[in-house]
Amino acid sequence: MTNSTSFIECRNLSKEYRKGPTVVRPIEKLDLQVEAGRFLALMGPSGSGKTTLLNMIAGIDPPTSGELWVAGTQTGNLRRGPLTKWRAQTVGYIFQLYHLIPVLTAFENVELPLLLTRMSRKDRHRRVAQALELVGLADRASHRPTELSGGQEQRVAIARAIVADPPLLVADEPTGDLDRETAEQILDLLRLLVADHGKTVIMVTHDPRAAAAADNTLYLDKGKLVSELVI
């Protein structure tokens, strides 16, 4: 087990796959440490490995080689069942296009992750109400996605990501489909989750203005960390 106190630690981390006769390496021998309660932005050109790294940290995509520790667990060593349980307890996902279920209300969309737990109905509803209150949508609980603005849909998606109280939030272009004012509101909410609720946030973005909201910005190119800017 690692002796590091880092919340996330990558050691000589690599990912490769075959595309026909070609071996593609979106991440190659990457070292990275992220302390708990930090807001990290990942930037770089298309194909630089940003989303691949995000998916490995989130336990969606296993590394090919190297070590990856998240919240004290070496996730690459977990089998499917324990990995699924680890993700449910540890990671909340925020996507660019929200991935809300159109026929469900905001309340029901946020409740979905809790339906996989043994939590009582009363406790589930309390958690959902708290999450919607935190993102400023308590008055939109009964609205379906088609009745919400893009910013409100993303807030519902964030409420869904935090309802199980995971320590890690991963966000893939969370402001990419929003206008500037709405994007700033979403970034303010992510900063609030870090500052007041102790979440660790890893965000992939192409927008330097979005990256400026983070504590640190890491730049990837061809699967390697090329520089770091402390904001």
pLDDT in tens, 133-149: 999 999 999 999 999 99
Q: Give strand ranges (E) for 60-206.
A: 65-70, 73-74, 91-95, 168-172, 200-204
Per-residue pLDDT, 228: 54
Whether the per-residue pLDDT at 106 is higher than 60: the answer is yes
Per-residue pLDDT of 148-163, as tens digits, reads 999 999 999 999 999 9
Tokens at residue 177, please? Answer: 């489909």
Whether the per-residue pLDDT at 19 is higher than 90: the answer is no
Q: Give strand ranges (E) for the chain.
A: 8-19, 22-34, 39-43, 65-70, 73-74, 91-95, 168-172, 200-204, 216-221, 224-230
Q: Rounded mean pLDDT of 36-58? A: 93
In CATH, which superfamily holds the domain spanning 36-48+87-230? P-loop containing nucleotide triphosphate hydrolases (3.40.50.300)
How far apart CA 40 and CA 52 sit, in angstroms, is 15
pLDDT class of 230 with cuts at 50, 70, 90: very low
Q: What is the mean pLDDT of the chain?
A: 91
Tokens at residue 25, please? Answer: 């390496």
**Which CA distances in Å does 9 have to 67, 99, 149?**
8, 29, 37
Per-residue pLDDT of 52-96, as tens digits, reads 999 999 999 999 999 999 999 999 888 989 999 999 999 999 988
Q: Would you kindly state where each structural domain of the chain is located, as residue ranges?
A: 36-48+87-230
**Which CA distances in Å does 78 have to 73, 83, 84?**
9, 5, 9
pLDDT class of 103 with cuts at 50, 70, 90: very high
Whether the per-residue pLDDT at 192 is higher than 70: the answer is yes
Contacts of 76 (CB under 8 A, 6+ apart): 62, 63, 67, 68
Per-residue pLDDT, 2: 45
Whether the per-residue pLDDT at 38 is higher than 70: the answer is yes
